[in-house]
Chain A
Protein backbone atom coordinates (compact mmCIF):
# COMPACT_ATOMS: atom_id res chain seq x y z
CA UNK A 1 0.00 0.00 0.00
CA UNK A 2 1.38 3.43 -0.94
CA UNK A 3 1.12 6.59 1.17
CA UNK A 4 -1.55 7.92 -1.19
CA UNK A 5 -3.55 4.73 -0.76
CA UNK A 6 -3.21 5.06 3.03
CA UNK A 7 -4.60 8.60 2.78
CA UNK A 8 -7.51 7.38 0.61
CA UNK A 9 -8.25 4.63 3.11
CA UNK A 10 -8.14 7.12 5.96
CA UNK A 11 -10.53 9.52 4.23
CA UNK A 12 -13.08 6.81 3.55
CA UNK A 13 -12.62 5.30 7.04
CA UNK A 14 -13.23 8.51 9.00
CA UNK A 15 -16.88 9.57 8.97
CA UNK A 16 -17.42 13.10 7.65
CA UNK A 17 -13.85 13.44 6.37
CA UNK A 18 -13.51 15.37 3.11
CA UNK A 19 -9.76 15.92 2.82
CA UNK A 20 -6.57 14.31 4.08
CA UNK A 21 -3.12 15.60 3.24
CA UNK A 22 0.39 14.66 4.23
CA UNK A 23 2.99 17.39 4.51
CA UNK A 24 6.14 18.74 6.07
CA UNK A 25 5.93 21.18 8.97
CA UNK A 26 9.47 22.53 8.42
CA UNK A 27 8.90 23.58 4.82
CA UNK A 28 5.12 24.01 5.03
CA UNK A 29 4.79 21.89 1.88
CA UNK A 30 1.87 19.58 1.07
CA UNK A 31 3.29 16.36 -0.39
CA UNK A 32 0.22 14.11 -0.89
CA UNK A 33 -3.53 14.78 -0.82
CA UNK A 34 -6.71 12.74 -0.91
CA UNK A 35 -9.95 14.69 -1.24
CA UNK A 36 -13.58 14.32 -2.26
CA UNK A 37 -13.25 17.28 -4.65
CA UNK A 38 -10.44 19.31 -6.17
CA UNK A 39 -9.04 22.15 -4.09
CA UNK A 40 -6.91 25.15 -4.90
CA UNK A 41 -3.27 24.79 -3.91
CA UNK A 42 -3.72 28.01 -1.91
CA UNK A 43 -6.37 26.30 0.25
CA UNK A 44 -4.14 23.27 0.89
CA UNK A 45 -1.25 25.55 1.85
CA UNK A 46 -3.43 27.58 4.19
CA UNK A 47 -4.44 24.38 5.98
CA UNK A 48 -0.86 23.20 6.50
CA UNK A 49 0.15 26.71 7.58
CA UNK A 50 -2.52 26.47 10.26
CA UNK A 51 -0.84 23.25 11.44
CA UNK A 52 2.61 24.93 11.43
CA UNK A 53 1.33 27.91 13.41
CA UNK A 54 -0.46 25.84 16.06
CA UNK A 55 2.37 23.35 16.59
CA UNK A 56 4.78 26.30 16.89
CA UNK A 57 2.59 27.84 19.60
CA UNK A 58 2.29 24.49 21.37
CA UNK A 59 6.07 23.92 21.29
CA UNK A 60 6.82 27.45 22.45
CA UNK A 61 4.62 27.07 25.52
CA UNK A 62 4.95 23.41 26.39
CA UNK A 63 6.12 22.62 29.90
CA UNK A 64 7.05 18.94 29.96
CA UNK A 65 8.72 18.68 33.38
CA UNK A 66 11.34 16.48 31.77
CA UNK A 67 8.80 14.09 30.22
CA UNK A 68 9.57 14.82 26.57
CA UNK A 69 7.65 11.75 25.37
CA UNK A 70 4.49 13.33 26.80
CA UNK A 71 4.68 16.18 24.30
CA UNK A 72 1.45 16.61 22.36
CA UNK A 73 1.10 15.40 18.83
CA UNK A 74 -2.34 16.54 17.79
CA UNK A 75 -4.03 19.89 17.28
CA UNK A 76 -7.68 20.64 16.55
CA UNK A 77 -8.81 23.81 14.78
CA UNK A 78 -12.54 24.47 14.43
CA UNK A 79 -13.89 26.97 11.92
CA UNK A 80 -17.57 27.79 11.31
CA UNK A 81 -17.52 25.41 8.32
CA UNK A 82 -15.32 22.49 9.31
CA UNK A 83 -12.97 20.90 11.83
CA UNK A 84 -9.27 20.53 10.98
CA UNK A 85 -7.32 17.87 12.81
CA UNK A 86 -3.53 17.85 12.61
CA UNK A 87 -1.42 14.94 13.82
CA UNK A 88 2.36 14.90 13.67
CA UNK A 89 4.71 11.96 13.83
CA UNK A 90 6.38 11.16 17.17
CA UNK A 91 9.50 9.91 15.35
CA UNK A 92 9.92 12.59 12.70
CA UNK A 93 8.30 15.66 14.17
CA UNK A 94 8.08 17.51 10.86
CA UNK A 95 5.80 14.86 9.26
CA UNK A 96 2.19 15.91 9.63
CA UNK A 97 -1.19 14.61 8.50
CA UNK A 98 -3.89 17.25 8.06
CA UNK A 99 -7.51 16.15 8.03
CA UNK A 100 -10.63 18.23 7.27
CA UNK A 101 -13.78 16.77 8.85
CA UNK A 102 -17.27 17.88 9.74
CA UNK A 103 -17.15 16.90 13.42
CA UNK A 104 -14.72 17.06 16.33
CA UNK A 105 -15.45 13.48 17.45
CA UNK A 106 -13.43 12.27 14.46
CA UNK A 107 -10.19 13.06 16.31
CA UNK A 108 -9.72 9.57 17.83
CA UNK A 109 -10.16 7.80 14.48
CA UNK A 110 -7.95 10.33 12.73
CA UNK A 111 -5.18 9.72 15.28
CA UNK A 112 -5.49 5.95 14.83
CA UNK A 113 -5.35 6.09 11.02
CA UNK A 114 -2.48 8.56 11.12
CA UNK A 115 -0.26 6.06 12.95
CA UNK A 116 -0.75 3.73 9.99
CA UNK A 117 0.41 6.48 7.59
CA UNK A 118 3.51 7.19 9.68
CA UNK A 119 4.26 3.46 9.94
CA UNK A 120 4.10 3.20 6.16
CA UNK A 121 6.50 6.12 5.86
CA UNK A 122 8.98 4.64 8.31
CA UNK A 123 8.91 1.34 6.36
CA UNK A 124 9.75 3.24 3.18
CA UNK A 125 12.58 5.20 4.79
Chain B
Protein backbone atom coordinates (compact mmCIF):
# COMPACT_ATOMS: atom_id res chain seq x y z
CA UNK B 1 0.00 0.00 0.00
CA UNK B 2 2.83 2.31 0.91
CA UNK B 3 4.40 1.72 -2.51
CA UNK B 4 1.14 2.45 -4.29
CA UNK B 5 0.78 5.69 -2.32
CA UNK B 6 4.33 6.69 -3.27
CA UNK B 7 3.73 5.82 -6.90
CA UNK B 8 0.68 8.07 -6.87
CA UNK B 9 2.74 10.91 -5.48
CA UNK B 10 5.20 10.85 -8.37
CA UNK B 11 2.44 10.59 -10.99
CA UNK B 12 2.37 13.66 -13.15
CA UNK B 13 0.39 15.04 -16.04
CA UNK B 14 3.43 14.65 -18.28
CA UNK B 15 3.80 10.96 -17.39
CA UNK B 16 0.08 10.43 -18.01
CA UNK B 17 0.35 12.16 -21.39
CA UNK B 18 3.37 10.07 -22.42
CA UNK B 19 1.72 6.82 -21.33
CA UNK B 20 -1.52 7.72 -23.14
CA UNK B 21 0.48 8.41 -26.32
CA UNK B 22 2.39 5.13 -26.06
CA UNK B 23 -0.83 3.11 -25.50
CA UNK B 24 -2.51 4.78 -28.46
CA UNK B 25 0.42 3.90 -30.71
CA UNK B 26 0.42 0.34 -29.37
CA UNK B 27 -3.23 -0.04 -30.35
CA UNK B 28 -2.76 1.40 -33.89
CA UNK B 29 -3.12 -0.60 -37.09
CA UNK B 30 0.16 -1.35 -38.84
CA UNK B 31 -0.51 1.09 -41.68
CA UNK B 32 -1.52 3.87 -39.30
CA UNK B 33 1.57 3.23 -37.21
CA UNK B 34 3.86 3.38 -40.27
CA UNK B 35 2.16 6.62 -41.33
CA UNK B 36 2.66 7.99 -37.82
CA UNK B 37 6.36 7.08 -37.89
CA UNK B 38 6.68 8.76 -41.28
CA UNK B 39 5.40 12.03 -39.81
CA UNK B 40 7.37 14.79 -41.55
CA UNK B 41 9.53 17.05 -39.45
CA UNK B 42 9.25 20.75 -40.20
CA UNK B 43 12.36 21.82 -38.30
CA UNK B 44 15.08 20.36 -36.11
CA UNK B 45 12.90 20.47 -32.99
CA UNK B 46 10.16 18.36 -34.53
CA UNK B 47 12.79 15.99 -35.98
CA UNK B 48 14.30 15.62 -32.52
CA UNK B 49 10.85 14.96 -31.03
CA UNK B 50 10.14 12.19 -33.58
CA UNK B 51 13.56 10.59 -33.05
CA UNK B 52 13.22 10.76 -29.25
CA UNK B 53 9.84 9.05 -29.44
CA UNK B 54 11.29 6.22 -31.54
CA UNK B 55 14.31 5.82 -29.22
CA UNK B 56 12.02 5.66 -26.20
CA UNK B 57 9.88 2.92 -27.74
CA UNK B 58 12.67 0.77 -29.19
CA UNK B 59 13.61 -2.12 -26.95
CA UNK B 60 14.79 -4.55 -29.64
CA UNK B 61 17.57 -3.38 -32.00
CA UNK B 62 16.12 -1.37 -34.90
CA UNK B 63 17.67 0.39 -37.84
CA UNK B 64 16.04 3.54 -39.16
CA UNK B 65 16.66 6.05 -41.92
CA UNK B 66 16.10 9.78 -41.90
CA UNK B 67 14.70 10.44 -45.38
CA UNK B 68 14.38 13.65 -47.30
CA UNK B 69 12.49 13.84 -50.61
CA UNK B 70 15.43 12.64 -52.64
CA UNK B 71 17.99 11.04 -50.33
CA UNK B 72 18.80 9.16 -47.15
CA UNK B 73 20.18 11.90 -44.91
CA UNK B 74 21.24 9.60 -42.10
CA UNK B 75 20.80 6.14 -40.65
CA UNK B 76 20.48 5.39 -36.99
CA UNK B 77 20.39 2.31 -34.82
CA UNK B 78 18.39 2.17 -31.60
CA UNK B 79 18.19 -0.53 -28.97
CA UNK B 80 17.20 -0.88 -25.35
CA UNK B 81 15.67 2.64 -25.43
CA UNK B 82 18.96 4.16 -26.53
CA UNK B 83 20.48 5.48 -29.72
CA UNK B 84 23.48 3.28 -30.47
CA UNK B 85 24.72 4.70 -33.74
CA UNK B 86 24.08 7.62 -36.09
CA UNK B 87 25.71 7.90 -39.50
CA UNK B 88 25.19 10.85 -41.81
CA UNK B 89 26.32 11.79 -45.33
CA UNK B 90 28.02 14.85 -43.90
CA UNK B 91 31.78 14.44 -44.30
CA UNK B 92 32.35 17.22 -41.74
CA UNK B 93 30.49 15.23 -39.10
CA UNK B 94 33.01 13.49 -36.79
CA UNK B 95 32.63 9.72 -36.52
CA UNK B 96 31.72 9.04 -32.90
CA UNK B 97 30.43 5.51 -33.40
CA UNK B 98 33.20 3.77 -31.56
CA UNK B 99 33.91 2.52 -28.08
CA UNK B 100 36.74 4.96 -27.51
CA UNK B 101 34.40 7.96 -27.73
CA UNK B 102 33.24 9.54 -24.47
CA UNK B 103 29.42 9.40 -23.97
CA UNK B 104 28.94 13.17 -23.77
CA UNK B 105 30.99 13.69 -26.96
CA UNK B 106 28.84 11.14 -28.79
CA UNK B 107 25.58 12.66 -27.46
CA UNK B 108 26.70 16.13 -28.52
CA UNK B 109 27.62 14.88 -32.01
CA UNK B 110 24.23 13.13 -32.35
CA UNK B 111 22.39 16.30 -31.25
CA UNK B 112 24.42 18.49 -33.63
CA UNK B 113 23.81 16.13 -36.55
CA UNK B 114 20.05 16.03 -35.90
CA UNK B 115 19.95 19.83 -35.59
CA UNK B 116 21.85 20.27 -38.84
CA UNK B 117 19.62 17.86 -40.79
CA UNK B 118 16.43 19.38 -39.32
CA UNK B 119 17.54 22.93 -40.09
CA UNK B 120 18.91 22.33 -43.58
CA UNK B 121 16.49 19.80 -45.02
CA UNK B 122 12.78 20.53 -45.17
CA UNK B 123 10.26 17.74 -44.60
CA UNK B 124 12.46 14.87 -43.46
CA UNK B 125 10.85 11.74 -42.04
CA UNK B 126 11.92 8.58 -40.25
CA UNK B 127 11.51 5.18 -41.83
CA UNK B 128 12.14 1.80 -40.28
CA UNK B 129 14.61 -0.24 -42.32
CA UNK B 130 14.51 -3.35 -40.21
CA UNK B 131 16.17 -5.07 -37.32
CA UNK B 132 19.78 -4.31 -36.54
CA UNK B 133 22.09 -7.22 -35.87
CA UNK B 134 25.48 -7.87 -34.27
CA UNK B 135 25.06 -5.06 -31.80
CA UNK B 136 27.59 -4.67 -29.05
CA UNK B 137 27.17 -2.70 -25.86
CA UNK B 138 28.66 0.67 -26.59
CA UNK B 139 29.80 3.49 -24.37
CA UNK B 140 28.29 5.89 -26.90
CA UNK B 141 24.71 4.69 -26.27
CA UNK B 142 22.55 7.69 -25.44
CA UNK B 143 19.01 7.83 -24.01
CA UNK B 144 16.26 10.09 -25.37
CA UNK B 145 16.36 12.12 -22.15
CA UNK B 146 20.11 12.72 -22.42
CA UNK B 147 19.83 13.58 -26.11
CA UNK B 148 17.12 16.05 -25.19
CA UNK B 149 19.25 17.60 -22.44
CA UNK B 150 22.24 18.00 -24.75
CA UNK B 151 20.04 19.43 -27.53
CA UNK B 152 18.68 21.96 -25.05
CA UNK B 153 22.21 23.22 -24.41
CA UNK B 154 22.62 23.82 -28.16
CA UNK B 155 19.45 25.92 -28.07
CA UNK B 156 20.59 27.94 -25.08
CA UNK B 157 24.05 28.71 -26.39
CA UNK B 158 26.90 27.89 -24.09
CA UNK B 159 25.61 27.43 -20.55
CA UNK B 160 29.03 27.84 -18.90
CA UNK B 161 29.35 31.14 -20.72
CA UNK B 162 25.83 32.14 -19.55
CA UNK B 163 26.84 31.33 -15.95
CA UNK B 164 30.06 33.30 -16.37
CA UNK B 165 28.11 36.38 -17.50
CA UNK B 166 26.02 36.13 -14.31
CA UNK B 167 29.05 36.11 -11.99
CA UNK B 168 31.56 38.17 -13.97
CA UNK B 169 31.23 41.35 -11.88
CA UNK B 170 31.85 39.42 -8.64
CA UNK B 171 34.83 37.41 -9.92
CA UNK B 172 38.29 38.72 -8.99
CA UNK B 173 39.84 36.70 -11.80
CA UNK B 174 38.85 33.88 -14.14
CA UNK B 175 39.99 31.28 -16.65
CA UNK B 176 37.35 29.87 -18.99
CA UNK B 177 37.89 27.03 -21.48
CA UNK B 178 35.14 26.51 -24.05
CA UNK B 179 34.76 24.47 -27.28
CA UNK B 180 36.90 21.59 -25.98
CA UNK B 181 39.62 23.98 -24.88
CA UNK B 182 39.96 25.73 -28.26
CA UNK B 183 38.60 29.01 -26.86
CA UNK B 184 40.36 30.27 -23.74
CA UNK B 185 39.40 33.47 -21.92
CA UNK B 186 41.33 34.78 -18.92
CA UNK B 187 41.43 37.96 -16.93
CA UNK B 188 42.55 39.12 -13.49
CA UNK B 189 45.64 39.97 -11.44
CA UNK B 190 48.70 37.79 -12.12
CA UNK B 191 48.70 36.38 -8.56
CA UNK B 192 45.17 35.03 -9.04
CA UNK B 193 45.77 33.74 -12.57
CA UNK B 194 48.80 31.74 -11.38
CA UNK B 195 46.53 30.00 -8.81
CA UNK B 196 43.79 29.39 -11.38
CA UNK B 197 46.30 27.95 -13.87
CA UNK B 198 47.50 25.55 -11.17
CA UNK B 199 43.88 24.65 -10.45
CA UNK B 200 43.27 24.04 -14.16
CA UNK B 201 46.18 21.57 -14.24
CA UNK B 202 44.84 19.73 -11.17
CA UNK B 203 41.31 19.64 -12.62
CA UNK B 204 42.61 18.26 -15.94
CA UNK B 205 44.59 15.56 -14.11
CA UNK B 206 41.52 14.59 -12.04
CA UNK B 207 39.32 14.35 -15.11
CA UNK B 208 41.85 12.12 -16.83
CA UNK B 209 42.14 9.71 -13.90
CA UNK B 210 40.10 6.56 -13.43
CA UNK B 211 38.76 7.24 -9.95
CA UNK B 212 35.40 6.46 -8.33
CA UNK B 213 34.16 9.89 -9.40
CA UNK B 214 34.94 9.25 -13.04
CA UNK B 215 31.41 8.06 -13.89
CA UNK B 216 29.69 10.99 -12.17
CA UNK B 217 32.14 13.43 -13.62
CA UNK B 218 31.51 12.26 -17.16
CA UNK B 219 27.76 12.37 -17.20
CA UNK B 220 26.93 15.55 -15.39
CA UNK B 221 27.57 19.19 -14.79
CA UNK B 222 28.77 20.42 -11.43
CA UNK B 223 30.06 23.48 -9.64
CA UNK B 224 32.37 23.43 -6.61
CA UNK B 225 33.36 26.21 -4.22
CA UNK B 226 36.30 25.77 -1.85
CA UNK B 227 38.75 28.06 -0.05
CA UNK B 228 42.07 28.92 -1.68
CA UNK B 229 43.15 31.83 0.54
CA UNK B 230 41.72 33.55 3.62
CA UNK B 231 38.49 35.17 2.47
CA UNK B 232 38.82 33.84 -1.08
CA UNK B 233 37.04 30.89 -2.71
CA UNK B 234 37.72 29.10 -5.97
CA UNK B 235 34.73 28.31 -8.16
CA UNK B 236 35.11 25.30 -10.48
CA UNK B 237 32.19 24.91 -12.90
CA UNK B 238 32.28 22.06 -15.42
CA UNK B 239 29.85 21.11 -18.16
CA UNK B 240 31.05 18.41 -20.53
CA UNK B 241 34.47 19.64 -21.58
CA UNK B 242 33.72 23.30 -20.84
CA UNK B 243 35.34 24.65 -17.71
CA UNK B 244 35.15 27.89 -15.75
CA UNK B 245 37.54 28.63 -12.90
CA UNK B 246 37.05 31.82 -10.92
CA UNK B 247 38.21 33.42 -7.70
CA UNK B 248 35.48 35.07 -5.63
CA UNK B 249 35.05 36.47 -2.13
CA UNK B 250 33.77 34.18 0.65
CA UNK B 251 30.61 36.22 1.11
CA UNK B 252 29.64 35.79 -2.56
CA UNK B 253 29.94 32.00 -2.74
CA UNK B 254 26.38 31.07 -1.70
CA UNK B 255 24.77 33.52 -4.15
CA UNK B 256 27.12 32.36 -6.93
CA UNK B 257 26.26 28.70 -6.33
CA UNK B 258 22.56 29.63 -6.51
CA UNK B 259 23.25 31.41 -9.81
CA UNK B 260 24.80 28.19 -11.13
CA UNK B 261 21.67 26.29 -10.11
CA UNK B 262 19.52 28.80 -11.98
CA UNK B 263 21.43 27.92 -15.17
CA UNK B 264 22.00 24.18 -14.64
CA UNK B 265 19.54 23.05 -11.93
CA UNK B 266 16.70 20.60 -12.47
CA UNK B 267 14.39 22.51 -10.14
CA UNK B 268 14.72 20.13 -7.20
CA UNK B 269 13.71 16.94 -8.99
CA UNK B 270 15.80 14.97 -6.55
CA UNK B 271 18.77 12.68 -6.88
CA UNK B 272 19.44 10.49 -9.89
CA UNK B 273 16.74 7.78 -9.60
CA UNK B 274 19.01 4.84 -10.45
CA UNK B 275 21.23 5.74 -7.53
CA UNK B 276 18.44 5.42 -5.01
CA UNK B 277 16.86 2.23 -3.76
CA UNK B 278 13.17 1.94 -2.91
CA UNK B 279 11.86 1.82 0.62
Contacts and interface: CB of A to CB of B under 8 A. Distances in A.
A12 interface: no
Given A100-B271, A104-B257, A37 B212 contact: no
A81 B226 contact: no
Given A80-B220, A104-B258, A75 B213 contact: no
A58 B220 CA distance: 22
B228 A49 contact: no
Most buried by A among B221, B226, B269: B226
A46 B213 contact: yes
Contacts of B253: 76
A7 interface: no
Interface stretch (B13-21, B42-50, B198-206): B198-206
A100 B278 CA distance: 18
Contacts of B211: 49, 53
B130 interface: no
B229 A63 contact: yes
Given A80-B220, A80-B221, A81-B270, A58 B279 contact: no
A22 to B, nearest CB: 19
Contact of A82 (B202, B226, B234, B271): B271
Contacts, number: 125
B223 interface: yes
Interface string B125-164: 0000000000000000000000000000000000000000
Contact of B260 (A54, A78, A103): A78
A58 B228 contact: yes
Interface of A: 18, 28, 37-40, 42-43, 45-46, 49-50, 53-55, 57-58, 60-65, 67, 70-72, 74-83, 100, 102-105, 107
Interface of B: 195, 198-199, 202-203, 206, 211-213, 215-216, 220-230, 233-234, 236, 253-254, 257-258, 260-261, 264-266, 268-272, 275-279
Given A38-B277, A54-B226, A80-B220, 10 more contacts: A37-B277, A42-B275, A57-B206, A64-B229, A72-B233, A74-B227, A76-B225, A78-B261, A83-B261, A100-B271
